[in-house]
Structure 1
Amino acid sequence: MAMARKDYRLIPASQEMASRAPAAVDRPLVQIVSNPVSGGHSARRLARLRDAYIRYGFDVVFSESSPATPFQLIKRVARLCIAGGDGTVRHVLEQGDLRGSTVAVDVYPAGTINLMAREWNVPTDPDAFVQTSINRAPRPLFPVRMNGTNFLACASIGPDARAVAGLSTELKRRIGRLAYVVAMMKVFIDWQRPRLRVFVDSKRIDCEAVFIAKGRFYAGPWSFAPAARLEQPILHVVALRHARRRDFTAFFLAMMAGKTGNLENVQLATGREVSIDCDTPQPIQADGDIAAHTPASLVVAAAPLLL
């Protein structure tokens, strides 16, 4: 006899709230927010995450954070669980305005890449994630203000940012992070070397590509600034004086080996304020999305968010 197939479709927040039994009103409420059109989105994984919260005594409601449906924090929420990649986390924290809020925030890695969850060593097993989340102390996170928006983990201007600017969102949805490889191949064909003027706490650096770390990781398990940490109010700047194809390739190979600081072509600096200018506007990649263009001003927040 054929087994019935389990339905993992997620109910929108308004319907979920309406369908909750009155007896559940006294249970603490968790709002799980995700981007359904992002790469790596999985209704089945989110359903398992919902079930884990329920097993630990919570009621659950789902909501979205997407271009079509901006995030909104639901009243009476005790915990907010952001299930997605770095871009989703960035948008939710910016739109939610959670500074000073008593809502606990959990970050579950469910998108293409989640550098914050990697640095915080967040479990991917839903039960282990919920258990760890409800028992841990709040973690400080210093966002970086950049041209009217925020970023959390890293930013860059150069070939990788141009690849993100040319990324196909549909291809990313279908094949995940491999879409970045396709976009980078196109950049290698049409190579550009703009001259950047970077000021780190007023110290000038002339370069052709720049990478700025707020957290430890970049593009997955690699790091161009191993000393950077999300909980520290410091920007780590790594500038490539020259960014020819061979320079950029050498930089990425050194990054994979954890030795970017050994390259003669690299100049390092740290500070709380960075400004960047160029004769022609350049796209700025921040947490995996194009978040701004040059000229740009980056300033670390004076006070942290507690997540």
Structure 2
Amino acid sequence: METNRPLPKTAALIVNAQSRKGQALFRDARAKLEARGIELVAAHAITDPKTLIPTMRETVKSGVPMIIVGGGDGSLSCTVDEAVKEPVVFALLPLGTANSFARTLGIPLDLDGAIEVIATGRRRRIDLGMIDGDYFANCAALGLSPMIGDSVPHKLKRYLGRVGYLIWAIWCLIRFRSFKVIVTDGETEHRVRATELRIANGRFHGGVELIEEAGVDSGEIVIQAVTGHAKMRLVWNWFASYFRLPSRSDKVVSFSGRQLEVRTIPPLKVSIDGEVLARTPVTARVAERAIEVAVPRAGALPA
């Protein structure tokens, strides 16, 4: 839900300096925000990941009207919990590898473009997803994605970005096996064999538009499964989705609702916006209109 209220001109900046671009761009971002008329009452370059959430929590408590978080999807997902139902605008600088949340909101991926949104954009109240009690911004996943995220070498991710992810994904794919999924919507139990399961609040996962029916203001969570045993079916789904081929929806099934129960055989790790934080069985639900975010002036999320 978009409003006509302008964005605040006073803000705090929190940048995860461990993200791929964070350390290099912190000073640049600070200077450019101030040059565009944003008064920064505080600016934090986080070098110890353990201090990211406490810093966000204390900044929210300070009463600043807007908090700008710079980092990847994992940084955004773990800090967004602190902004839920609080009178603060959550703005973002996409400094990560995939930047799926920024893509969902239509925010430019370059620093200047993202700062322009913060300086001239509008507010929009959006839904968040939840895995058990953990809020997430964009997408959770089971299968190959957690396997990659839980084991990818940090330097490979930091210096090679999406190419590094691809190299590691190929290595993980060799060892990967399909699994059984049971999704329950409260009335009906659905059973499928899958190579990947996506629990989506937004349309992007890994920087690729995969879940077209998901939306951050739909009031529902979407679960999408790439069905079958064959690993190459998953590879083809990603390839076809990346190039937006008509066959991208082949062998894919989706379920949606306000709350869905997910079990797998065997139990599997769950990555939440790129960070492995849970294990099946889990309950996925939508948190409607949970936070207010900064979006471009044009206001329309991708259709």
What band does the TM-score fall into relative to the shorter chain?
A: 0.7 to 0.9
1:248 and 2:228 aligned: no
TM-score, structure 2 length as denominator? 0.81
Residue of 165, 186, 195 corresponding to 2:150: 165
Answer whether contact 2:147 2:172 (CA < 8 A) is retained: yes
- Residues of 2 paired with 1:205 and 1:93: CA distance? 32
Query: What is the aligned partner in structure 1 of residue 184 from structure 2?
Result: 199
TM-score, structure 1 length as denominator? 0.80
State which structure, 1 or 2, has the greater radius of gyration over its C-alpha atoms. Answer: 1
1:50 deviates by 1.2
List, as ranges, runs of 4+ consecutive aligned residues in structure 1 with deviation greater than 6 Å.
none
- Residues of 1 paired with 2:143 and 2:110: CA distance? 36
| More off after superposition, 167-176 vs 150-159 | 167-176
- Residues of 1 paired with 2:149 and 2:259: CA distance? 24
1:278 deviates by 2.1
1:212 deviates by 2.3
Query: What is the aligned partner in structure 2 of residue 19 from structure 1?
Result: none
Change (3 A) 1:255 1:127: closer
1:35 and 2:22 aligned: no
1:59 and 2:46 aligned: no
Residue of 203, 208, 217 corresponding to 1:216: 203
1:149 and 2:138 aligned: no
CA offsets 1:237-290 (integer angstroms, 9 cap, x no match): 221231322221222223224345641x22222222121112322111221111
Residue of 282, 285, 299 corresponding to 2:268: 282
Residue of 41, 45, 52 corresponding to 1:70: 52
1:236 deviates by 2.2
Partner-residue secondary structure (3-state), 2:203? coil
Higher strand share: 2
**Paired residue type of 1:107:** L
Partner-residue secondary structure (3-state), 1:166? coil
Answer whether contact 1:284 1:292 (CA < 8 A) is retained: yes
1:165 deviates by 2.1
1:127 deviates by 5.4
1:124 deviates by 4.8
Change (3 A) 1:125 1:153: closer
1:64 deviates by 4.9
- Residues of 2 paired with 1:28 and 1:121: CA distance? 21
1:300 deviates by 0.6
1:60 deviates by 4.4
Q: State how 1:1-307 maps to structure 2 within 5 Å.
A: 29-43=10-24, 45-55=25-35, 56-64=37-45, 66-71=48-53, 72=55, 73-74=58-59, 75-94=62-81, 96=82, 98-124=83-109, 126=111, 128-203=113-188, 204-208=190-194, 209-220=196-207, 222-258=208-244, 259=246, 262-263=249-250, 265-307=251-293
Question: Unpaired segments of 5 or more residues in structure 2?
Answer: 1-7, 294-303
Answer whether contact 1:198 1:207 (CA < 8 A) is retained: no
1:107 deviates by 1.0
Query: What is the aligned partner in structure 2 of residue 23 from structure 1?
Result: none
**Across the two proteins, how many residue pairs are aligned to each other?**
276
1:82 deviates by 0.7
Partner-residue secondary structure (3-state), 1:37? coil
**Paired residue type of 1:197:** I
- Residues of 2 paired with 1:252 and 1:127: CA distance? 30
- Residues of 1 paired with 2:75 and 2:197: CA distance? 24
**Paired residue type of 2:265:** D
| More off after superposition, 85-94 vs 50-59 | 50-59
CA offsets 1:159-206 (integer angstroms, 9 cap, x no match): 232222222223222322333223212222212122221224543132
- Residues of 1 paired with 2:242 and 2:111: CA distance? 30
The percent identity for this pair of structures is: 20
Asked which structure has the greater RCO (Cα within 8 Å, sep 6+), the reply is: 2
